[in-house]
């Protein structure tokens, strides 16, 4: 049986091929890992999310300088939704999207919640599509008044 860090390098290398170099690390700053995993566009945004309490490591609110280790379970709130992910590989380098997705594994419950949210948003858009786009015209207003029994 290989050590866990060797397994991580082999896993990352098999997913990414030779296009990305991953260094063996024990810990990485929370804001750097979130940026490298492409949850946030800049490190400053990742740091700000930590300060606002949108990132939790286990049950603890994470600070930007908190160390992330392999196997940590993170709860991340972004504009794209809420994610619950397990850290698989550590990286301080922001790479392509395929490399970023190899850094973590989203839990099944998290994925299901996000899919339900997307379905609810689609249903809401269909309902909103039936409503008029802007202010009612004079003719529409007269019809509304007749419908309400005002005229």
Q: Residue 97: which CATH number?
A: 3.10.290.10
The pTM for the full model equals 0.69
Query: For the chain, how many structural domains are there in total?
Result: 2
Terminal CA-CA length for the chain: 84
CA 15 to CA 92: how far, in whole Å?
18
Query: In this structure, are 39 and 112 located in the same domain?
Result: no
Query: In this structure, are 69 and 138 located in the same domain?
Result: no
Reading the chain (151 residues) residue by residue, the pLDDT tens digits are: 545 544 555 555 555 555 555 556 789 999 999 999 999 999 999 999 999 999 999 888 999 999 999 999 999 999 888 999 999 999 999 999 999 999 999 999 999 999 998 898 888 887 766 666 788 889 989 998 998 888 6
Query: In this structure, are 101 and 111 located in the same domain?
Result: no
Query: In this structure, are 8 and 67 located in the same domain?
Result: yes
Query: In this structure, are 49 and 88 located in the same domain?
Result: yes
Whole-number percent of the chain with pLDDT over 90: 56
Query: In this structure, are 76 and 99 located in the same domain?
Result: yes
Query: In this structure, are 49 and 83 located in the same domain?
Result: yes
Write out the residue range of the structural domain in which residue 135 sits: 107-151
| Maximum pairwise Cα distance, the chain | 84
Query: In this structure, are 116 and 50 located in the same domain?
Result: no
Query: In this structure, are 120 and 137 located in the same domain?
Result: yes
Q: Supply the pLDDT for residue 126.
A: 79
Q: Supply the pLDDT for residue 108.
A: 94
Q: Choose one of 105, 127, 142: the last residue of a domain.
A: 105
Q: What is the pLDDT of residues 88-127, one digit of tens each?
A: 999 999 999 999 999 999 999 999 999 998 898 888 887 7
Q: Which residue has the tokens 């994470």?
A: 62
Query: In this structure, are 4 and 40 located in the same domain?
Result: yes
């Amino acid at each position: 049986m290989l050590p866990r860090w060797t397994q991580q390098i082999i896993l990352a290398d098999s997913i990414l091929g030779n296009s990305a170099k991953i260094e063996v690390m024990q810990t990485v700053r929370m804001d750097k890992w979130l940026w490298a995993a492409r949850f946030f566009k800049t490190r400053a945004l990742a740091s700000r999310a930590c300060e606002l309490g949108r990132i939790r490591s286990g049950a603890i609110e994470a600070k930007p300088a908190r160390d992330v280790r392999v196997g940590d379970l993170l709860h991340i709130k972004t504009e794209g939704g809420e994610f619950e992910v397990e850290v698989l590989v550590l990286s301080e380098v922001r790479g392509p999207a395929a490399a970023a997705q190899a850094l973590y594994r989203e839990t099944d419950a998290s994925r299901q919640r996000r899919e339900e949210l997307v379905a609810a948003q689609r249903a809401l858009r269909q309902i909103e599509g039936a409503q008029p786009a802007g202010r009612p015209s004079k003719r529409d207003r007269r019809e509304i008044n007749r419908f309400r029994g005002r005229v």
